[in-house]
């Protein structure tokens, strides 16, 4: 009888120990929150359109090479140089592609209205004031840059075109003596810094220099039937500073869901 009782007690203790161990094994584990996924990388790939505004400066130098009262001069008689300054506003459209190594390449077309004006008194004709005005310019450029997530540093280069007006005034009376209009083609280089800030939107600053070279410009007296008056060789170089705002279609961007990521 005692032996049976001991066996029952031993069996009960064994079952209790097993139950405790089994309960410990199936006890709920502490909850550990999974780490959030890393945010998607910003992408500059896609078509974009934007607006820009700023100011500029044009350096023009005039040299008389032909006049009705003179012979032909080469390289010409210097009439002096001046800077035409003012404001500009316009727009741009383009496409960029960002590679896996963070290099960005693209192409862009830009067109701007401008009002850059300036002048100087002629060193050849006393009492005559020469004036230049740049009315518009356009750029067709390629781009190459490097991106640090939503920050893009880039350089650009390509072709440029400017629309110009030249006038010669009589200083005592203010009357227009002769004028000319010209569309000039040249080359452009520039650099910019752009920052993406919200679902396809980016803002940046840009500097451009336009190499517009030397051109012989024919001047005519005003009136219904202008008479040929002379030719000036005019050199032109343009410096432009812009603030740009772009919207990019498609691609990843900043925001609650990184745009279309």
pLDDT per position as a tens digit, 193-212: 999 998 899 999 999 999 99
Q: Is 102 helix (H, G, I), strand (E, B) or coil?
A: coil
Predicted pLDDT at 6:
41
Mean pLDDT of 206-230: 87
pTM, two decimals, is: 0.81
Q: How many CB atoms lie within 10 A of CB 183?
A: 9
Q: How far is CA 165 from the centre of its chain?
A: 26
Instruction: Read off the pLDDT band of 242 (50, 70, 90).
Output: very high
Domain spans, the chain: 46-249
Mean pLDDT of 40-66: 94
User: Is the distance from CB of 50 to CB of 110 less than 8 angstroms?
Assistant: no
pLDDT of 151-160, one tens digit each?
Answer: 999 999 999 9
Higher pLDDT, 29 or 190: 190
Pinpoint the alpha helices (H) of 109-210: none
Query: Rounded CA gap, 141 and 175, in Å?
Result: 41
CATH class of 46-249: mainly beta
List C-alpha distances in Å: 187 to 107, 139, 213.
15, 9, 9
Per-residue tokens: 238: 């343009």
User: Is the distance from CB of 234 to CB of 64 less than 8 angstroms?
Assistant: no
User: Is the distance from CB of 139 to CB of 208 less than 8 angstroms?
Assistant: yes
Mean pLDDT of 8-33: 47
Higher pLDDT, 7 or 126: 126
């Amino acid at each position: 009888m005692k032996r049976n009782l001991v066996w029952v007690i031993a069996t009960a203790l064994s079952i209790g120990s097993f139950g405790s161990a089994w309960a410990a094994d199936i006890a709920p584990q502490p909850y550990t929150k999974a780490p959030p996924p890393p945010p998607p990388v910003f992408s500059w790939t896609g078509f974009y359109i934007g607006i820009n505004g700023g100011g500029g400066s044009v350096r023009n130098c005039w040299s008389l090479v032909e006049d009705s009262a003179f012979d032909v001069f080469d390289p010409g008689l210097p009439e002096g140089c001046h800077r035409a300054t003012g404001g500009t506003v316009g727009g741009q459209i383009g496409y960029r592609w960002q590679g896996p190594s963070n290099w960005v390449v693209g192409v862009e077309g830009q067109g701007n209205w401008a009002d850059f004006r300036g002048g100087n008194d002629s060193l050849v004709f006393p009492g005559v004031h020469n004036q230049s005005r740049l009315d518009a310019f356009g750029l067709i450029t390629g781009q190459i840059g490097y991106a640090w997530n939503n920050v893009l540093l880039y350089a650009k280069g390509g072709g440029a075109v400017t629309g110009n007006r030249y006038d010669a005034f009589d200083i005592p009376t203010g009357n227009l003596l002769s004028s000319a209009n010209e569309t000039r083609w040249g080359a452009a280089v520039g650099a910019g810094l752009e920052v993406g800030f919200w679902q396809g939107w980016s803002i940046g600053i840009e500097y451009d220099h336009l190499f517009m070279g030397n051109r012989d410009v024919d001047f005519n007296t005003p009136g219904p039937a202008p008479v040929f008056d002379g030719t000036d060789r005019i050199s032109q170089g343009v410096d432009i500073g812009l603030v740009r705002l772009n919207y990019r279609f498609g691609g990843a961007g900043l925001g609650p869901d990184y745009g279309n990521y």
